[in-house]
Amino acid sequence: MPPVKIGVLISGHGSNLQALIDQITTGKINGQITVVISDRKDAYGLIRAETHQLNAVFVDRKSCSTETEFNRKILAVLTNNEVQLIVLAGYLRILSGEVVHAYHNRIINIHPALIPSFCGQGYYGKKVHQAVLDYGVKLTGATVHFVDEGTDTGPIISQRAVAVERDDTVESLQNKVLNLEHQLLPEAVMLYCAGKLKIDGRKVWRIEDEKSVN
């Protein structure tokens, strides 16, 4: 079947974007990135996109009078580039209900914790790892999920855990979790593009074996 047209939204360095590019290049993901969108002009992920001859677009929130207008600009870019699947790869803004509705069950996000812990409003970037250390949990990890109109509340596709060690810092924990993200996000996108994910309420299954994704 033809490759799935993917739009990747970023806000920063774009290492998860790079992980996707690598897997698409090797043919493991039956997808094509038609546009990379950033809400930050200086995001290094835009340079990554341009290096790989991908369409890189900066959408300036400051040029929009409202969040609604900003999200409609993003939606227009996605539509103009015929995007079929949105991947949030370190995108730090909340998509509007209008965008989520337009791409119902076609938006995948990666979160640097084991949802439903350390997620929701205010939990992003290093703040997540600081909260993990402050609470004293013994395990953290990464979660890939579909996006709904809540914040980190959509059906979970996959999760993987890593131990929190006594001498871990925010930076060391961030690096450990990021390594998991680079594995989980491409795997989830690969399954989606292969038509192997089924959503049943809050549960997501692999169609090939009807076993819960883990």
What pLDDT sits at residue 207?
A: 87
Vertex 183: Cα angle to 84 and 174 (nearest 5): 110
Q: What is the pLDDT of residue 213?
A: 53
pTM: 0.94
Place domain 1-103 in its CATH homologous superfamily.
Formyl transferase, N-terminal domain (3.40.50.170)
Question: Domain spans of the chain?
Answer: 1-103, 109-214
pLDDT score at 211: 53
What amino acid is encoded at 136 in this protein? G
DSSP 32: E
Q: What is the pLDDT of residue 1?
A: 86
Spatial separation of the C-alpha atoms in residues 24 and 36, rounded to whole Å: 14
CATH class entry, domain 109-214:
alpha beta
Write the pLDDT tens digit of every residue in 143-172. 999 999 999 999 999 999 999 999 999 999
Please give the angle made by the CA atoms of 141, 144 and 145, to the nearest 5 degrees: 135
Count Cβ atoms below 10 Å from residue 172 Cβ, excluding itself. Answer: 14
Residue 145 known to be catalytic:
no
One-letter-per-residue 3-state SS of 2-71? CCEEEEEEECCCCHHHHHHHHHHHCCCCCEEEEEEEECCCCCHHHHHHHHCCCCEEECCHHHCCCHHHHH
Q: Which residues of the chain have pLDDT under 50?
A: 212
**Identified catalytic residue from 13, 104, 111, 182:** 111
Rounded Cα gap, residues 174 and 165, in angstroms = 13
Q: How many CB atoms lie within 10 A of CB 143?
A: 25
